[in-house]
Amino acid sequence: MGALSEAEISSLDAWWRAANYLSVGQIYLLDNPLLERDLEPDDIKPRLLGHWGTTPGLNLVYTHLNRLIRERDVNAIFLAGPGHGGPAVVAQAWLEGTYSELYPRISYDKLGMLRLFCQFSFPGGIPSHAAPETPGSIHEGGELGYVLSHAYGAALDNPDLLVAAVVGDGEFETGPLAASWHSNKFLDPVHDGAVLPILHLNGYKIANPTVPARIPREELVSLLNGYGHEVLTVEGSDPHDVHQQLAEAMDTAHDRIREIQRAARDGEEWQWRPWPMILLVTPKGWTGPHEVDGKLVEGTWRSHQVPLSETRNNAAHRRQLQEWLASYVPGELFGDDGVPVESVRSLAPAGVRRMSANPHANGGLLRKPLVLPDFRDHAVEVTEPGASVHEATRVFGQYLVDVVRDNPDTFRIFGPDETASNRLDPVYAVTDKVFQGAIWDVDEHLARSGRVMEILSEHTCQGWCEGYLLTGRHGIFSCYEAFIHLVDSMLNQHAKWLKTTRGIGWRADISSLNYLLTSHVWRQDHNGLSHQDPGFIDHVVNKKAEVVRVYLPPDTNTLLSTMQHCLASTHYVNVVVSGKQPAFDWLTAEEADLHCARGVGIWDWASNDGTESGAEPDVVIAAAGDVPTLEALAAVSLLRTHLPEVKVRFVNVVDLMRLQDDTEHPHGLPHAEFDGIFTADKPVIFAYHGYPWLIHRLTYRRSNHANLHVRGYKEEGTTTTPFDMVMMNDLDRYHLVMDVIDRVPGLGQSAAAVRQLMVDTRRRARQWTRDNGEDLPEVRDWTWTGDVEPGRSPSVDTSADF
């Protein structure tokens, strides 16, 4: 009396058994793939590496999704939260034929099956987890917690798509997952697709029961209702019964989703409608060995990895493995040639309806380049350096207006409640923040649809963004610089994904992950020390050079140029750090364009070293970052005033990876070019945005490294004035002048006097600040006077013609 006839149950069960058989085979077998003879020790892998516990559950869900897809022509993809159940998703892709299409060596026959088994978790083979190598996957699952945010990211702007997301009950305990349930408050049922969460309560983690499995069931359901879900429970350990329950739950869930979408798309009056989800309660390691060596395994944590661990050397274990494999009755499922029998094969959806072949899970295939305005159309006018002031991110916000307008359904802005604080609010002229909670009259820019997504969870923002990019779209994540560390570990996983996919021919490149980090370390006026940390750059540069890029635009036009470049790029992680406070403009649009293309350059309008004539400076003052550039230029000014005889070359670095050499990073400068800019033997005073040692780490192979002296953030800060902040870290103009005097040889008595003046001025500045709560007037009112070489028009790098 259920949704399914006995024949339907039987065929679903056959597919499930086939997938489980193929999963166990992957974990254990080196030979004898069809169990044509008794298992011998040599049939077994010498090292058994993989995770069985979650696998039968993943296979069950996948199997039932296929039924739904076939019966209702659903466009679906599958995300395995417990991605360590790699054998399941690989088995499904092979059963569906996709695996052999993408990897012809792993053919759709007995030899291919053998190779499928052998390659799993084997040197030279494939990883034990769902991975970039896995057809149909956009989600590694190695690090738990991101399946729902990835799923919602994938569903955005894909109104036709159903994203099935299995949440493991271990993963359920993680913070990022816990927060991401609320993603449904940001899903627009009109323009977005649907996410179907399936919480798989198999009861155990590696060594413990899970929290959701052991709290009162009514509390768990209450919690899930509280997350905004209608809960459809499927529970049991009898396959026949569970098939029936799960098919009904899938049908009901899909009906509910369609009804929510219909109501919204028909324009019915808005109301919050809880989305369906499935709570699937089945034993861990289901259908595997029930007991091993007298201990319960099925249904416990002992089935988490490899239930029978000694199958090569222990005959009893081997016999148990054989019985286990035979319990799936492979003879009914595969022909003698290893090809799945027709009755099994016919259960696979067709073509791109196979979840393993759905192009949404290989988003680069669907990706279209962004329509980008020319940044010059938004550039600020710069008549001369330092003559005007802009908030760089606000101007970039105006650039984003065009991007949003011209890419109405492929571009999103993600951020933790900081889009306006980060000055990107000009975009609200053309779009809103999407929200499915109550909207009140007092609210601004809040709507049921919109391109801006804000939740106070960096994890959720990052997950949404990744899911959106991985399915072929574009986005930007703007965040306070200090708190982007919250997603360090997510960045790791995404960078590894990008790195690995570069080696996989059938994976098409996706859009870069673009971070705009603002509200940075030097301007945390309201918040102080807890909000000061420029170390995300350090974290990112540990990732593979092929995938990471770091930019520190010194002003508004360079920010625009940088962002245009990043938004057009593919398959990188781009980290851009830029202030949001009013700051001087240094470069015209044309100069910014050239400077950003070169990544590093001599600003000869700020230099007096006669670079054009091939002369060498006494000192190089270099800067990377907007605040360091300001202080470094002010130092240049001070030197020009007080020690005009010192020949200074001013260098600005916008692309940090230029500092490495070209064997270390694709953007690296060859040594000759580096020496051409930084000299081979002159002191270099380097004012850097972040932790100073990063500059040493990037340049230690340079011939002039011993002369490099870096100032940056050394973990000193509080709520104080902007200039007090740079003074606390010795990055201020006065200290930079002292550094020059200390390092340029042969300066005379007058230099000593100037040095003392600097010391005194710093003391005065500190006292003034403590007395008045403001910066010294001569600092606040400082402007670049162009007095270095009066009358010269600004130009960039004109002499650097290497």
Binding residues for a copy of itself restricted to 694-753, rule: CB under 8 A:
694, 696-697, 700, 705, 715, 718-721, 724
Name the residue nearer to a copy of itself (CB basis): 190 or 223.
Answer: 223
Kindly report the backbone phi and psi dihedral angles of residue 233, in degrees, each rounded to the nearest multiple of 5, phi listed first.
-95, 135
Tell the burial category of 254 from Cβ atoms under 10 Å away from its Cβ (0-12, 13-18, 19+): buried
Whose structure tokens read 């820019």? Answer: 445
Do 595 and 796 meet the contact criterion of CB atoms below 8 Å apart?
yes
Q: Kindly tell me which of 8 and 774 has the beta carbon lying closer to a copy of itself.
A: 774
- Binding of residue 429 to a copy of itself (CB under 8 A): no
580 lies in the binding site for a copy of itself (CB under 8 A): no
36, 37, 40, 49: which one binds a copy of itself (CB under 8 A):
49
- Subset of residues 466 to 485 that bind a copy of itself, contact rule: CB under 8 A: 482-483, 485
Paired residues of 334 in beta bridges? 340
Choosing from 365, 430, 529, 800, the residue that interacts with a copy of itself (CB under 8 A) is: 529
How many of the other CB atoms lie within 10 Å of CB of 305? 18
Of 62-70, 177-185, 592-600, 675-683, which segment contacts a copy of itself by CB under 8 A?
A: 177-185
Nearer to a copy of itself, 317 or 665 (CB): 665
DSSP characters over 269-281: PP---PEEEEEEE
Query: Does residue 691 touch a copy of itself according to CB under 8 A?
Result: yes
Name the token pair of 626.
């907007």
Does 222 interact with a copy of itself (rule: CB under 8 A)?
Answer: yes
Q: With binding defined as CB under 8 A, does residue 774 bind a copy of itself?
A: yes
Which listed residue (284, 531, 571, 580) binds a copy of itself by CB under 8 A? 531
Q: For residue 774, count other CB atoms closer than 10 A to its CB.
A: 14
Distance of closest approach, residue 198 Cβ to a copy of itself, in angstroms: 18
Q: What angle do CA 402, 403, 409 make, to 5 degrees?
A: 120
**Which of 6, 40, 259, 272 is the binder for a copy of itself (CB under 8 A)?**
272
CA distance 387 to 385: 6
By CB under 8 A, is residue 298 in contact with a copy of itself? no
Determine the Cα–Cα distance for residues 285 and 85; give it in Å rounded to an integer: 11
Nearer to a copy of itself, 214 or 368 (CB): 214
201: left (phi over 0), alpha (psi -120 to 50) or beta: beta
Cα angle: 549, vertex 552, 557; to 5 degrees = 115
Residue with tokens 């994938």: 154
Enumerate residues 6+ apart whose C-beta is below 8 A from 355: 62, 65, 66, 69, 76, 77, 78, 92, 96, 136, 164, 349, 361
Binding-site string for a copy of itself from residue 494 to residue 523, where x marks contact by CB under 8 A and - marks none: --x--xx-----------------------
Contact 116, 99 (CB under 8 A): yes
Q: Of the two residues 529 and 757, which places its CB atom closer to a copy of itself in the complex?
A: 529
666 makes contact with a copy of itself (CB under 8 A)? no
Q: For residues 411 and 419, what is the distance between their CA atoms, to the nearest angstrom?
A: 15
Binding mask 80-119 for a copy of itself (x = CB under 8 A): ----x-----------------------------------
Kindly state the DSSP code that residue 79 receives in the 8-state scheme.
E
By the rule CB under 8 A, 421 interacts with a copy of itself: yes
Which residues, 543 to 562, sit near a copy of itself by CB under 8 A? 543-544
Task: Return the residue of 4, 75, 138, 140 that touches a copy of itself, per CB under 8 A.
Answer: 140
Residues 14-43 that bind a copy of itself (CB under 8 A): 30
Among 440, 505, 749, 791, binds a copy of itself (CB under 8 A): 440
Among 58, 138, 161, 177, binds a copy of itself (CB under 8 A): 177
Q: Which is nearer to a copy of itself, 226 or 335 (CB)?
A: 226
Instruction: State which residue, 430 or 439, has the beta carbon closest to a copy of itself.
Output: 439
Nearest CA to 708 among 698, 696, 723, 716? 696
Name which of 539 and 595 has its Cβ closer to a copy of itself: 539
- One-character DSSP codes across 390-438: EEHHHHHHHHHHHHHHHSTTTEEEEESS-TTTTT-GGGGGT--EE--S-
- Residues from 442 through 461 that contact a copy of itself (CB under 8 A): 442-443, 446, 454-457, 459-460
CA gap 251, 69 in Å, rounded: 11
Structural contact between residues 382 and 561, judged by C-beta atoms closer than 8 angstroms: no
Smaller CB separation from a copy of itself, 293 or 774: 774
